Structure 1
Amino acid sequence: METQRIDGHALGKLKWRCRRGMLENDLLIERFFQRHESALTQRHASALARLMDLSDNDLLDLLLRRKEPGDDINTPDVREVLGMLRPPIRGSHRPGASLPANH
């Protein structure tokens, strides 16, 4: 059941649960759903719900890599979802991107 994809009703409830009071968080969460909503599982939804229990400031600190998850939420599932939520690091090579040619 944990790897089962969430249905449309559960997805709608999850999106509602993820609404935040801080625009920066909302923008990153919206991008997350645009990229990943079709593949979200029950496991992802549970991890995302744990992240949504955080205050807006604590969540933003995690999303912007200012800090890492504390022991209370530091699980493989939370780290996976956090990686999906975080913006890419500037200048980092993304898998699948072509490397510049040497001249």
Structure 2
Amino acid sequence: MSEQSSTDAALRKRLYWHSRRGMWELDLLLIPFLEQRYDALGETDQAAYRALIDEEDQDLFAWLMRREWPEEPMRRRIVQMIVEHAEHPDSAAHRPV
């Protein structure tokens, strides 16, 4: 295994474990998005996802349950992408938000 693929595998494991929140509602949104969409995201959106999962559970819950939206535009964009993916998981062509 090359050093790069080893680094990528470690990053993926870290993302997976940080995406597991222990709150069923969040896990049902974050894990499928990570597994099915993350790799196809551009670098900016991947960075936004990595920043998002560092947020507090209560903030993630409010945003992903559409009770409120993040003020920061990139955070709002990634939240909208996750919500859209949850609503249309089988759609191969996801529109950018």
Query: For this structure pair, what is the TM-score category when the shorter chain's length is used for normalisation?
Result: 0.5 to 0.7
**Equivalence for 1:10:** 11
Aligned amino acid, residue 53 of structure 1 = D
The 3 A distance-change label for structure 1 pair 13 and 42 is: farther
**Equivalence for 1:80:** 77
Q: Name the TM-score, length of structure 2 as normaliser.
A: 0.65
**Consecutive unaligned residues in structure 1, runs of 5 or more:** 1-5, 97-103
1:34-91 per-residue CA deviation (whole Å, 9 max, x = no partner) reads 3203313432232123222322122111011110103xxx12x3223212211329xx
In 1: Cα distance, 2:32 partner to 2:23 partner: 15
Larger radius of gyration: 1
Q: Name the TM-score, length of structure 1 as normaliser.
A: 0.62
Which one scores higher on RCO, CA 8 angstroms, separation ≥ 6? 1
Q: Number of residues paired by the alignment? A: 83
Higher helix share: 2
Alignment RMSD (CA, Å)? 2.8
Report 1:1-103 matches (<5 A).
Answer: 7-70=8-71, 74-75=72-73, 77-86=74-83, 87-88=86-87
Identity of aligned residues (%): 32
